[in-house]
Amino acid sequence: MKILITGGAGFIGSHIQDGYIKAGHKVVVVDNLCAGNKKNLNSKSKFYKVDIASPKVKAIIKKEKPDIISHHAAQIDVRKSVADPIWDAEVNILGIINLLEATREARVKKFIFASSGGAIYGDTKAIPTQEGHLEQPASPYGIGKLTSEKYLDYYNLQYGLEYVALRYANVYGPRQNSKGEAGVVAIFADRILAGEQATIYGDGKNTRDYVFVEDIARANVLAIKAKTGKYNIATSKETNINKIFDKIAKTAGVKTKPKYGPAKPGEQRRSCLDWSLAKKAFGWQPEVGIDEGIGRTVDWFRNH
């Protein structure tokens, strides 16, 4: 099959690109390189430096005629979405609408979407959280992801577009940018290895479900054959920020303590997802545990 990946030069998208190519698929990458890195591109991929909101996207999709679109280009910073919700919506909501219109016009068969489990569900007492739980996003970013899923429902109902929305937990691993839109694993690894003090915002007791990026890539390969629906991609294990910091420092062999700053708006207290539906639907399950994943991530940062 031919698969067009938006955001394919980014942290998550580049691993998915590699996974698709390894599975024997042809890959086309569309990325504006705002957050992505050309070094992450696979030599077997065809690359277009284009923004997903650009009118050029329709022409590219019409020309390439992909069987599947895998949409991973996004504004991913929750805090930025709180500070500038209009910009967040312009990138994440208008971006997917532009892609869906191009998909409809080119008669693309399937759409795989990088959604967000934690951000969509919001704070919930049902831990680990299942897909049928009430969605209560606590940030414009989460609202944007949920809105995108609603548009997928519409295009499925109105035009018969098959889709798979993968609701990721907190993704970490090699190639993650430790600056700007990064997650805490990348930030902590970078700071600790550089001999700098890292900051934890809040008391560090917020929990997250950390899933390794290669497990995410496998989910995207398996999702090619999955039926239309929404699926959590996670580990169902909670780890708080303080423990993540300690694990990274120990793995790096550095004795250090974090400094604490004020909690950031839009941040959830707990997030942990139930992945059993993904296993039942298309045979996916997490394979890389947090200790192994942090070890591999720290090694990558040490060598880059």
Domain presence at residue 113: yes
Judge whether 81 lies within some domain.
yes
Among residues of the chain, what percentage have pLDDT more than 90?
A: 88
Domain that holds residue 88: 2-173+213-233+274-287
Q: What percent of the chain has pLDDT over 70?
A: 99
Q: Which of 20, 48, 121, 141 is catalytic?
A: 141
DSSP symbols for 48-96: E---TTSTHHHHHHHHH--SEEEE------HHHHHH-HHHHHHHHHHHH
Residue 102 is assigned to a structural domain of this protein? yes
Domain membership of residue 118 (yes or no) is yes
| Three-class SS state of 168 | strand
Q: What is the mean pLDDT of residues 8-28?
A: 98
Taking the CA atoms of residue 220, residue 221, residue 226 and residue 228 in that order, the dihedral angle to the nearest 10 degrees is: 40
Rounded mean pLDDT, 144-158? 98
The answer to whether the beta carbons of residues 185 and 290 sit under 8 Å apart is: no
pLDDT at 75: 86
The yes-or-no verdict on residue 16 having pLDDT over 70 is yes
Asked whether residue 220 is domain-assigned, the answer is yes
Q: What is the pLDDT of residue 102?
A: 97
Domain assignment of residue 246, yes or no: no
Q: Is residue 298 part of a domain?
A: no
**Phi and psi (nearest 5°) for 264?**
-95, 145
Decide if 263 is inside a domain: no
pLDDT tens-digit profile of 170-221?
999 999 988 865 689 999 999 999 999 999 999 999 999 999 999 999 999 9
Amino acid at 220: N
If one counts the domains in the chain, the total is: 1
Cα–Cα distance, 107 to 79 (Å, whole number):
36
CATH of the domain at 138: 3.40.50.720
Strands 2-6 and 68-71: what pairing? parallel
Is 141 catalytic? The answer is yes
Q: Which residues of 89-99 are buried (b: 16+ CB within 10 A; e: fewer)?
A: bebbbebbebb
Q: Is 201 helix (H, G, I), strand (E, B) or coil?
A: strand
pLDDT (0 to 100) of residue 181 = 56
Q: What pLDDT, on the 0 to 100 scale, is given for residue 76?
A: 85
Strand locations in the chain, DSSP E? 2-6, 26-30, 46-48, 68-71, 110-116, 162-168, 170-172, 199-201, 207-208, 210-212, 229-233, 239-240, 259-261
Instruction: Note the pLDDT tens digit of each residue in 235-260.
Output: 999 999 999 999 999 999 999 999 99
- What integer best gives the mean pLDDT of the chain? 95
Residue entry with tokens 């915002």: 201
